[in-house]
């Protein structure tokens, strides 16, 4: 029998955006938030900065163990700073703050779950970055860096653009034509949509209410926070209009995200339908 879950610690999610009560443009932020809410872990949000994160990226979290009364050792009670949405979830599972969503999966199902996550995080993500920072550079720059005075915004934007371009060249997403990149994005979303159509059919046949899950099971797996995160990021980033239009063209994908929103994010502003 698995050990009982521990009381959730005081946890802060640094999202990189000052806005609250709404989704942000980062799929990994929404993925982490969805994973915490599915896992029943309460948290607060703050803006933070990628420069302050342990791995110099968003999101990252701070766990205040002293406030959670996990320990009386002052040295050991120093806040933990953790980064990377996957590693954060894994750590919280290992420390028994959350259940392992994949514990009941067969080896084949685990492979399918991993494949879905990799399809989005290791392939689609780079095409989305290209759409935002290359295809729609000026809109992206003036939105993300809009708080900066114009001359500084131009300089910082150029530095960011060169860094993103170098990354995309090395990864390969920038070596394709615009049409080829768009076709790759569509292929990914068509695959996700096909899985969700099948999953919804199974849920309907079983008479299930509420959310349905990407692998078609009765409960979510680790792939679901990822899928949800990428959907909300596409719907919440006006600097990637092609991705938003593509996601909205799949009614079942929209229904999937809406059902998760209704059950777990009713306190958040819903994307415009």
Tell me the per-residue pLDDT of 80-106, one tens digit each, with 9 for 90 and over.
899 999 999 999 999 999 999 999 999
Among the CATH numbers 1.20.1050, 2.40.160, 1.25.10, 1.10.3470, which is that of 107-264? 1.20.1050
pTM value is 0.93
What local confidence, expressed as pLDDT, does residue 73 receive? 55
Of 38, 39, 17, 37, nearest to 26 by C-alpha is 17
Start-end ranges of CATH 3.40.30.10 in the chain? 10-94
* Residues of the chain falling short of pLDDT 70: 1-2, 67-78
What local confidence, expressed as pLDDT, does residue 236 receive? 84
Start-end ranges of CATH 1.20.1050 in the chain? 107-264
Task: List, in sequence order, the alpha helices (H) in the chain.
Answer: 27-38, 85-94, 107-119, 125-130, 137-144, 150-171, 178-205, 223-235, 241-248, 251-264
Tell me how far CA of residue 33 lies from CA of 69, 151, 225, 226, 242, in angstroms.
23, 35, 8, 10, 25
What local confidence, expressed as pLDDT, does residue 3 receive? 72
What local confidence, expressed as pLDDT, does residue 9 receive? 87
What's the CATH architecture for 10-94? 3-Layer(aba) Sandwich (3.40)
What local confidence, expressed as pLDDT, does residue 66 receive? 73
Query: Which pair of structure tokens corresponds to residue 244?
Result: 């938003």
What local confidence, expressed as pLDDT, does residue 72 receive? 56
What local confidence, expressed as pLDDT, does residue 51 receive? 84
Distance CA 190, CA 236 (A): 20
Give yes or no for a contact between 51 and 97, defined as CB atoms under 8 angstroms apart: no
- Per-residue model confidence as pLDDT tens digits over 214-264: 999 999 999 999 999 999 999 988 889 999 999 999 999 999 999 999 999
């Amino acid at each position: 029998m698995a050990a009982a879950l521990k009381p959730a610690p005081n946890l802060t999610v640094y999202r990189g955006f000052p806005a609250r009560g709404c989704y942000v443009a980062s799929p990994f932020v929404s993925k982490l938030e969805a994973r915490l809410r599915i896992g029943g872990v309460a948290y607060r949000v703050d803006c933070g900065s990628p420069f302050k994160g342990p791995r110099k990226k968003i999101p990252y979290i701070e766990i205040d163990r002293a406030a959670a009364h996990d320990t009386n050792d002052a040295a050991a009670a120093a806040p933990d700073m953790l980064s990377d949405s996957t590693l954060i979830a894994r750590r919280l599972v290992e420390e028994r703050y959350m259940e392992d969503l994949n514990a009941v999966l067969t080896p084949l199902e685990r492979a399918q779950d991993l494949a879905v996550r990799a399809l989005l995080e290791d392939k689609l993500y780079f095409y989305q970055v290209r759409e935002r920072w290359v295809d729609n550079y000026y809109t992206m720059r003036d939105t993300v860096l809009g708080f900066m005075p114009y001359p500084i915004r131009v300089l910082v934007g150029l530095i960011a653009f060169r860094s993103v371009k170098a990354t995309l060249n090395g990864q390969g997403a920038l070596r394709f034509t615009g049409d080829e990149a768009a076709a790759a994005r569509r292929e990914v979303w068509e695959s996700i949509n096909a899985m969700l159509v099948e999953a919804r059919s199974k849920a309907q046949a079983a008479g299930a209410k509420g959310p349905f899950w990407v692998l078609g099971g009765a409960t979510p797996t680790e792939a679901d926070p990822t899928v949800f995160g990428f959907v909300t990021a596409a719907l919440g980033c006006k600097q990637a209009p092609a991705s938003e239009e593509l996601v909205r063209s799949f009614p079942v994908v929209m229904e999937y995200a809406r059902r998760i929103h209704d059950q777990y994010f009713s306190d958040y502003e819903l994307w415009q339908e």
